[in-house]
Structure 1
Amino acid sequence: MTGTAWPPLPEIIPAGVDPAGNTWELRRVTPETAGVVEASVPSEQQAETFHFFTRLPIPLAAFLAADPGRRTYALWRDGTPLACTSVYDGDPQERRVSLGFTWVTPDERGAGANRALKTAMFDALQEAGVSEVWFRADVANLRSCRSLEKAGAERMFVDPEPRVYPDRVSRSVHYRRRL
């Protein structure tokens, strides 16, 4: 189990199999594995992959160290990281967490990796006693908004205050999924 952050989660979470029968699993990202996970998004594709992030999760080792209460997991298939997400802002009284800083490697988009990642994480969170998962996305990130809705999340509200990015200003939309 992981340190003192709530909820308690295992280091490895089974995530099913892909259409070809290969095993997927979520593994907690550590300083030792951060470089391999980070390298799964080639440098020439990082600007597009992280365009909607207000804070970059790279370098990944520094991202991990910045918030000890945040747990970051990568979805692996046959020794290759395909996607990444983080659990943070756990509130044991409300039985609520946030799930975010989620990305899928460019070659795996649309191939089920995001669905597998979210389904496995929802199962693990529910087993750990979580009843609500919150997400934040940029209103212009239609791919993310659609994936959240396909995962059963309900659009709750749009922040009235602007969300400032290094190269633009937008707004955040918040989603909730009850477990």
Structure 2
Amino acid sequence: MFHTTESGMTEVMPRRAEAEADVQRLVEAHMETLLGVRLLASEYVLDCLDGGRIDSLGLDENNAPVIVEYKRGTDAGAINQGLYYMAWLMSHRGAFRRLVRDRLGASAASRILWSAPRLICVAGDFTRYDAHAVREHRHNIDLVRYRYFGSEHFGLETVASATGVPGVGKRSRDARPGPLPA
């Protein structure tokens, strides 16, 4: 990306967030626009022995549950952490259904598409092993790289994507850089 001025052009160097929470706040504030997901909960605490906290929990445009896991940089455990949350979600459907009912109403809760839950990992980068694992997996997993460009632009790039359920499409998103909120 380049910035034009009267005297020429200068390259705008991409950068990572100072903290994981910065990326999470920005994406959650614009989740429908950036990912096509309605945000239901942030930092959702799991009610199980091993515990944990799902960064973002939502519903996509097909009414499928979506877990979004954020990492500031490259984290080899992001996919495994997300799959742990996915297993929790699938064995605690009643808790998710209640969350949807409380946030969006009984009608939305009755239309949840349990056959196509999704995991979206948003991180500063991924390894080639992460991309390979996603392509070989039977779940709906998206690896999405984020970058800040200067103080006014934010970009998302899909690094790898796998749709584990034939016939269930995801709306294509071209995450155009746009202004950051103040």
**TM-score, normalising length: structure 1:** 0.37
Q: Which has the larger radius of gyration?
A: 2
**TM-score, normalising length: structure 2:** 0.36
